[in-house]
Amino acid sequence: MNIYVGNLSWNLKDQDLLNLFSAHGEVSSAKIITDKFTGRSKGFGFVEMPNDDQAQAAIAAMNGTAVDGRNVVVNESRPKPEGGGGGGYKKRSFGGGGGGYRGNRGGGDYNRDGFNNGDF
């Protein structure tokens, strides 16, 4: 079972997380998620425990307990929902453009209707 562990201190390392959960049963892996640019902890991680009963006992025992001065949130990890994700990219058009043929718009003759004020 995959377990989510949140509200972790930024000082904790993968090995610390493994040690915390090993007290409750066999742990196959423990990973604290870090920022890919800075390498700093994001304050949460995941623990994989092969035995579901031990995992449930670890969740019950660890959730809300103080670890390195912070009350951790521990629950069963749920898979990400299908689709979505990433925000995507949408090309936007900002005004202008279009145009097209507008026929004869010329500034033609001012006296186009044939009427000439000078005729009076």
Structural domains present in the chain: 2-76 (3.30.70.330)
Task: Please give the pLDDT value at position 79.
Answer: 82
Yes or no: say if 49 and 56 are a contact pair by the CB < 8 Å rule. no
Between 80 and 99, the higher pLDDT residue: 80
- CA distances to 14, 21, 87 from 75, in Å: 18, 13, 26
Residues 21-38, mean pLDDT to the nearest whole number: 96
Q: List, as own/partner pairs, every contact residues 98-101 make where C-beta atoms lie below 8 angstroms and the sequence separation is at least 24, other chains included.
A: none
Closest C-alpha among 78, 79, 82, 70 to residue 41? 70
The yes-or-no verdict on residue 49 having pLDDT over 90 is: yes
- 67 vs 80 pLDDT, higher one: 67
Distances (CA, A) of 65 to 7, 20, 24, 39, 78: 11, 11, 14, 26, 21
Comparing 98 with 69, which gets the higher pLDDT?
A: 69
